[in-house]
Amino acid sequence: MTKDMTAGSPVRLIIGFAVPMFLGLLFQQFYSMVDTIIVGQYLGVNPLAGVGSTSSLNFMVIGFCMGVCNGFAIPVAQMFGAKEESRLRRFVTNSAWLAIGFSVLMTIAVAALCRPVLQLMNTPAEIFEYAYIYIFIVFCGIPCTFLYNLLAAVIRSLGDSRTPVIFLAVSSVLNIGLDFVSILVLHMNVEGPALATVISQGVSGGICLLYMRKKYLILKASKEEWKPDGKYIKRLCFMGIPMGLQYSVTAIGTLVLQTAINGMGASVVAGVTAAQKINAFIASPVEALGQTMAPYAGQNMGAGRLDRIGKGLLQASLAGFVVSAGCFLLALLTGQRLVLLFMDAKEAEIIAYAYRFLLCCTGGYCLLTLVNTVRFTIQGMGFSVFAITSGAMEMIARILAATVIAGKTGFTGICLAHPLAWIFADLFLIPAFFYCRKRLERQAGKAD
């Protein structure tokens, strides 16, 4: 059920690991897209814009949860690579205690702040209540988010990228079924897709937990190993919180960008919402390659195989460049038809906004490839604090695009925001990787 990534061809291991992750991301984006399609086709443009207007806020909070969980899994990958099974289990159990605490506190805090934050974002009046109801329900499901993402991250850290995909597939099918039942049978509004998302993720996490208890013998902890330990909690927080904050800091720029989009009216909001859903779907292979690098680098870091980390990063990035070109061609040739999944063909203005935004994003996927592969490699090496700085660079770029560039060029500035953010992040991350590698090499030399 596990895979040692410290021996063998790096590119074969990375691609073999990334393919199941890619399928998992496709499932994840598929049911997210279905939410949007059903809302747009059966509830109308305003509910669609309301759901879409929450995407940056959703990314800031849910992204923090996912980042924290991925950070908690890095010491697990390192201990797996080092063959230290008892310490591995202690990291897993202390991660569980931390996840429970984080999920309770965050659910209370963010649910209470939903309405004032949406007001600060200048959410248009005609879509405000749709946005509030949807995001409030999603945030109430934060414990389900922690449950699934922590378990999936731990499994991936052990070299198994296939099992989480199976449970995500179950979640996707359930989510789609609940979408149709809630809207077409129960005649619910945006609360239907929101509840479907929370319930399906909770079910997926619960099944994953039961499966892990039976199949992953390496994770069977003793009573002693279940006791909270300050040393392990400190290390986990050092790894997890910066990775979570990276998403949140990045999302601040996205919030400012969304505020600028909201100020351009419901048509622009609806167009960008559709484009972002398609963009997330098409970007799945690039994202999968990046996320593969954290467990790959973590295991090789634990095993002391620093030479394999750089080689794997280069090969993963080259593969990502090839994939990026294919993604752009896909968007160029099919983008307008894909937008029609979300709205009627008569909405010509909205379709034009969506297609233009989509082409600008996919045209910058080579930049996104480096953001993902380099960032996750650095995190797997144990330098998760660097993630905050890269997130800050993205934040600055998006704020510049939303205020200065959009102020002069209008919607063009909105379209350039993501590629500009990736440029800013790459300018920091590439030199940061070489710094981290040299630092580890010096430490290894002293140890010898």
Q: What is the pLDDT of residues 28-49, one digit of tens each?
A: 777 666 777 777 778 877 887 7
Structure token digits, residue 278: 């398609």
Evaluate whether residue 3 is within a structural domain: no
Evaluate whether residue 298 is within a structural domain: yes
Position 82 scores a pLDDT of 81
Give the domain range for residue 302. Answer: 10-443
Q: Look up the pTM and report it.
A: 0.76
Evaluate whether residue 19 is within a structural domain: yes
Distance, in Å, from the CA atom of 43 to the CA atom of 260, rounded to the nearest integer, reads 25
Task: Phi first, then psi: give them for residue 109, nearest 5 degrees.
Answer: -70, -50
Position 445 scores a pLDDT of 67
Evaluate whether residue 94 is within a structural domain: yes
Distance, in Å, from the CA atom of 45 to the CA atom of 33, rounded to the nearest integer, reads 15
Distance, in Å, from the CA atom of 312 to the CA atom of 297, rounded to the nearest integer, reads 8
Evaluate whether residue 243 is within a structural domain: yes
Cα separation values, 36 from 63, 84, 173, 307, 418, Å: 19, 45, 15, 44, 21
Cα separation values, 376 from 55, 112, 297, Å: 23, 32, 8
Q: Into how many domains does the chain fold?
A: 1
Q: What sign has the CA pseudo-torsion 391, 393, 394, 400?
A: positive
CA nearest to 319, candidates 3, 5, 6, 9: 9
Describe the chain by its helix, strand, coil percentages, rounded to 5.
Answer: 85, 0, 15
Is residue 295 very low, low, confident or very high in pLDDT (cuts 50, 70, 90)? confident
Query: Which residue carries 């070299």 as its tokens?
Result: 159
Is residue 146 very low, low, confident or very high in pLDDT (cuts 50, 70, 90)? very high
- pLDDT score of 159 more than 90: no
Position 448 scores a pLDDT of 52
- pLDDT score of 422 more than 70: yes
Is the separation of the CB atoms in 373 and 291 below 8 Å? no
pLDDT tens sequence across 307-353: 899 999 999 999 999 999 999 999 999 988 888 877 777 778 888 89
Greatest alpha-carbon pair distance for the chain in Å reads 70
Position 193 scores a pLDDT of 86
Evaluate whether residue 186 is within a structural domain: yes
Is residue 2 very low, low, confident or very high in pLDDT (cuts 50, 70, 90)? low
Helices 163-180 and 142-157, packing angle to 10 deg: 150
Is residue 1 very low, low, confident or very high in pLDDT (cuts 50, 70, 90)? low
Evaluate whether residue 211 is within a structural domain: yes
Evaluate whether residue 295 is within a structural domain: yes
